[in-house]
Amino acid sequence: MVHWAGPPPPVKAPEKITEVASKTTYDSAMVEQKTRPHAIERHRSCEVSQVVFSEVENRHQHQTLEPTKSPISGCSAPVESTTDTNAVHKNTVADAAWEALKKSMVHFRGQPIGTVAAIDKSQGALNYDQVFMRDFIPSALAFLMKGEPTIVKNFLLETARLQLREKMVDLFKLGQGVMPASFKVHHCNSKHKTESLLADFGETAIGRVAPVDSGLWWIILLRAYTIWTRDNSLAESPECQRAMRLILKLCLSEGFDTSPALLCADGCSMVDRRMGIYGYPIEIQALFFMALRCAITLLKENHNDDFVYQISKRIEALSYHLHTYYWLDFQRLNEIYRYKTEEYSETALNKFNVIPESIPDWIFDFMPSRGGYFIGNLSPARMDFRWFCLGNFIAILSSLASGEQAEAILDLVEERWEELIGEMPMKVCYPAMENQEWQIVTGCDPKNTRWSYHNGGSWPVLLWLLVAVSVKLGRPHIARRAVEATEKRLVKDEFPEYYDGKAGRYVGKQARKFQTWSVAGYLVAKMLLDDPSNLRAVSLADDGHARFPVLKRSNSFP
């Protein structure tokens, strides 16, 4: 684990917070242009585009963000004179990334409120011109690390307002706590420059699924903002307290569940198409765990309910559940391989009645002697052995994984570098589904063919998570190796959304270029490597929450 000598200087919270006015009409021509004080910069990756940053802010662009020139051609030459061509290249990558990030900014009534998913006119916009909640997380972290918290504050407040809207899918009303998957600025009257926000809670999304991850990310981001700015006032505001409670009420509501994990529909998270992740996917369970831990630190006591108590009990139960049933390493795999079935009793070892014949062949070769991970999903007679990147890395950042398990997850990444990192970090999941399995599980989805997109594709955005966990565990050489691999291609390929192929060598078939989270993910990765204290906003210390040993023996089969 990394230890810091002392707390880093806080980033100043915006002095007079320029919140977006809640009135319905707004004349953007009247907006006073603001110059914002910039925080002290430490490293090259933050430094380069300070000029670009302010310029774009001052240009006050609104949502239609036509790039005026390519971020590559437009990138400024490195300020330092150096003979080290590698260093020059790296700085150029960072320059290009900062410039692209600035161009992705979306303004609402004169204030920055988010970043578009991608600026790629060649592919047709679909909904990539919207601000996605999950996509904004790396952007928000980059802005926070850069000392620009206002956009994050505006985003949090504006999405909290959107949450209060009535949400309907056909005749069915969605839960009040649901946060939008994405939103965009609608220009109602071009003459009077009237703007409003249009949000998508799943009712217009492909597949019509509400995003379970949005609310969880929202809470995690609120904590990041609070830690960064050392300003509790936003988190303590009635708007944010209410938003948090609404999200948590949805997640903690009682139902028919026999497990503390959150039951989800396919496509309710980053993997937002049918990919066989319905049930209890690790990505959501890890985010849920982290959001619960963040909420405990942010919620104000309310003597009328036992919310905080409920949350603590859920953290404990969720931790027990995931440790006992999701953790997999060589030894555990061997135990599952020898499972008896049809056990009936509280002491059954094979609680979910997993039939050993259903264990896929690939896992026996993939599982190294050193290493382990949390499996993708678990429900009756179904263990999804696939390795999912986001869930495992969030498990490390939230300290859901014990110290030993966290090391084991990174051991696995090192042992299986070719498979998981390849030429472009990193695989969203492993392995890909092919042939009949692909047909049945994805519904013949042509976008999710083997080793493409969500089905074993490589996503540059995941770099920041890899770097964060490597830095957290004091193994930065892993991060450096991955960042170097990324730098060889990212700018040249114009920041693609994802790469295809077993080794991630090919720019994805339908990948958008200038995908904002590929841009921001790289910048966050650089800033985490440059200054490990930046980790404080996205990492939770191990508080020793209850963990229990994995069951070894069944009484019904002594």
Applying CB under 6 A, which residues contact ligand GLC? 117, 132, 134-135, 270, 272
Distance CA 422, CA 412 (A): 14
- Which has the closest alpha carbon to 306: 263, 252, 257? 252
Considering beta carbons, is residue 147 or 508 the nearer one to ligand GLC? 508
Considering beta carbons, is residue 104 or 399 the nearer one to ligand GLC? 104
Q: Are 280 and 378 in contact (CB under 8 A)?
A: yes
Residues 6+ apart with CB under 8 A from 117: 127, 128, 129, 130, 131, 132, 135, 182, 512, 515, 516, 517
Amino acid at 527: M
Q: How far is the CB of 424 from ligand GLC (least distance, A)?
A: 17
Distance CA 395, CA 431 (A): 20
Considering beta carbons, is residue 350 or 515 the nearer one to ligand GLC? 515
Considering beta carbons, is residue 462 or 466 the nearer one to ligand GLC? 462
DSSP 370: S
Considering beta carbons, is residue 110 or 114 the nearer one to ligand GLC? 114
Q: How far is the CB of 514 from ligand GLC (least distance, A)?
A: 11
DSSP 343: -
Considering beta carbons, is residue 262 or 270 the nearer one to ligand GLC? 270
> Which position's Cβ is nearest ligand GLC?
117
Burial class (CB in 10 A: 0-12, 13-18, 19+), 361: exposed
**499-500 vs 377-379, strand pairing mode:** unpaired
Q: How far is CA 494 from CA 57, 234, 502, in A?
A: 23, 36, 21
Considering beta carbons, is residue 234 or 432 the nearer one to ligand GLC? 432
Q: How far is the CB of 124 from ligand GLC (least distance, A)?
A: 13
Q: Return the number of other C-beta atoms located less than 10 Å from residue 208's C-beta.
A: 12
Q: How far is the CB of 15 from ligand GLC (least distance, A)?
A: 33
Q: How far is the CB of 271 from ligand GLC (least distance, A)?
A: 6
Q: Are 135 and 92 in contact (CB under 8 A)?
A: no
Distance CA 274, CA 455 (A): 10
Amino acid at 384: D
